[in-house]
Amino acid sequence: MCQPLDEGDVTNESPRWLTETEEQAWRGLLRVFEQLVTRTGRPLQSLFGLSAADYTVLAELTRVPEGRLRVLELGKVVGWERSRVSHHVARMSKRGLVERQGCAYDRRGVYVSVTPLGRRAIEEAAPRHVEDVRGLFLDHLTAAQIALLAEVSDELADSLAQTPEVA
């Protein structure tokens, strides 16, 4: 266990260390997440020229009827900071997958829109991606486990959205 460098900042409370089961759950979640992102991302890249991040952005843009979201909205739904969204959108824009558009009623606002090329790219990649998600993830769980996982995921996402970030 590491000791703090500045004894003046120490409170009398000790850390709430993880139990063996809690650590197993946490580390397992991280391990599974990384494996799923890697294993579903490889075919996207090799077969369709899309990174997992490209696919995520295109999926969110094509979920909305107008095919566009403000940069801040896109960042919120994908869980990225504004700078990451901006940099990634710039790279995708150079490849013709998305385009930036100014907001008519808010000069500071910027929309990101899926282009016809971006829409074709996700339409081509989506069947394979869904097949991989099923084969690597969903097919290994019961309907009850999937429902529970959906409930737990929503609960955690809502909780994180309401919890202020700390440095």
Tens digit of pLDDT for each residue in 11-55?
568 899 999 999 999 999 999 999 999 999 999 999 999 999 999
Q: Residue 40: which domain range? A: 35-162
**Which regions in the chain score pLDDT beneath 50?**
1-4
Residues 6+ apart with CB under 8 A from 37: 52
DSSP for residue 106: E
- Structural domain count, the chain: 1
| Residue 25, in any domain of the structure | no
Q: Give the pLDDT confidence score for residue 3 in this predicted structure.
A: 47
Residue 151 tokens read as 């409930």
Q: Give the pLDDT confidence score for residue 30 in this predicted structure.
A: 96
CATH of the domain at 138: 1.10.10.10
Can you tell me whether residue 102 is helix, strand or coil? strand
